């Protein structure tokens, strides 16, 4: 029986309009009532998911959320218990590389989004608005003094892909690097990933990984899909991810998360 369901947000739980369908709300509520842990697993910081947690009634002390693509695992009430951050040296090295190749960059902390770019990148503004966090322009050295959860290089798809080709190879060894959307390249502590966070949380709750379902659609979901005993990929998900899926559920436009929970979780509880 599935005891924990880790669910990505954008492209997965949220529909194409970034809304939660009535079907998804109902399925999540039924699963929680059955005792299943529903864990939102996202690249966003906690302020960017508070409204979603409220809408899904996942705000109790016993509810958990994985933020910053696994950089932080915390209770829905805010208490942190797994944290993997970046160092000041990490930030300065990433900032120097971004300047050299001409990509906008920003760092995300629990307090806000910080960029050294006075001509603030379009996707930095978009990220701040989406995750509902304040945006600050600061000198690189000032940003280095902060506790950084993750760093993002952001630009139009073609410019970002061109820039990636010029990044030092050692960055891909040194950090957990994920391209979460065509416009976002994210850098996190090597120990931080959705997969490691899901694994640590399952261990904390004394669940076997065979009792874990993960639902996702993008490359930054791969690590949790690989550790979960029941990996589920959205119909709108990446083709490569579907190769490692136990199940393919409906698209996010058709409440695929609800379908997955109803078919492959709740039926075992109703038997």
Rounded to 5 degrees, what angle do the CA atoms 16, 251, 1 make? 125
271 exposure class (CB count in 10 Å sphere: 0-12, 13-18, 19+): exposed
Distances (CA, A) of 271 to 208, 257, 265: 21, 21, 11
164 close to 125: Cβ distance less than 8 angstroms = no
Active site residue 8: yes
- What DSSP character marks residue 148? B
d(CA 151, CA 124): 11
Task: Enumerate the β-bridge partners of residue 249.
Answer: 234
Residue identified by tokens 């698209």 is: 251
Secondary structure element (H or E) that encloses residue 113, with its range: strand 113-115
Sign of CA pseudo-dihedral 155, 47, 178, 229: negative
Give the neighbor-by-neighbor strand order of the sheet with 72-75: 80-83, 72-75, 64-67, 37-41, 4-7, 212-216, 230-234, 247-249
Active-site residue among 8, 93, 155, 221? 8
Q: Express the helix, strand and coil content of the chain in percent, nearest 5 each.
A: 45, 25, 35
Beta strands in 28-79 (DSSP E): 37-41, 64-67, 72-75
Task: Report, as residue numbers or ranges, the catalytic residues.
Answer: 8
């Amino acid at each position: 029986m599935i005891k924990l369901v880790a669910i990505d947000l954008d492209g997965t739980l949220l529909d194409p309009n970034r809304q939660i369908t009535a079907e998804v709300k109902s399925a999540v509520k039924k699963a929680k009532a059955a005792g299943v842990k529903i864990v939102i697993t996202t690249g966003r910081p906690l302020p960017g998911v508070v409204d979603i947690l409220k809408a899904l009634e996942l705000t109790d002390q016993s509810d958990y959320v994985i933020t910053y693509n696994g950089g932080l695992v915390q209770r829905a009430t805010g208490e942190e218990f797994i944290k993997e951050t970046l160092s000041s040296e990490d930030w300065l090295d990433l900032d120097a590389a971004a300047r050299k190749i001409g990509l906008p960059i920003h760092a995300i902390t629990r307090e806000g989004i910080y960029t050294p770019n006075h001509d603030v990148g379009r996707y930095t503004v978009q990220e701040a608005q989406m995750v509902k966090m304040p945006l600050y322009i600061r000198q690189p050295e000032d940003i280095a003094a902060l506790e950084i959860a993750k760093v993002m290089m952001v630009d139009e798809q073609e410019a970002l892909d061109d820039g990636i080709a010029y990044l030092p190879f050692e960055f891909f060894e040194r950090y957990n690097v994920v391209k979460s959307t065509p416009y976002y390249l994210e850098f996190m502590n090597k120990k931080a990933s959705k997969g490691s966070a899901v694994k640590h949380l399952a261990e904390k709750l004394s669940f076997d990984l065979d009792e874990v379902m993960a639902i996702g659609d993008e490359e930054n979901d791969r690590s949790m899909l690989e550790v979960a005993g029941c990996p589920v990929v959205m119909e709108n998900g990446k083709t490569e991810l579907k190769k490692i899926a136990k199940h393919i559920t409906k698209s996010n436009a058709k409440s695929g998360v609800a379908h997955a929970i109803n078919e492959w979780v709740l039926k075992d509880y109703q038997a």
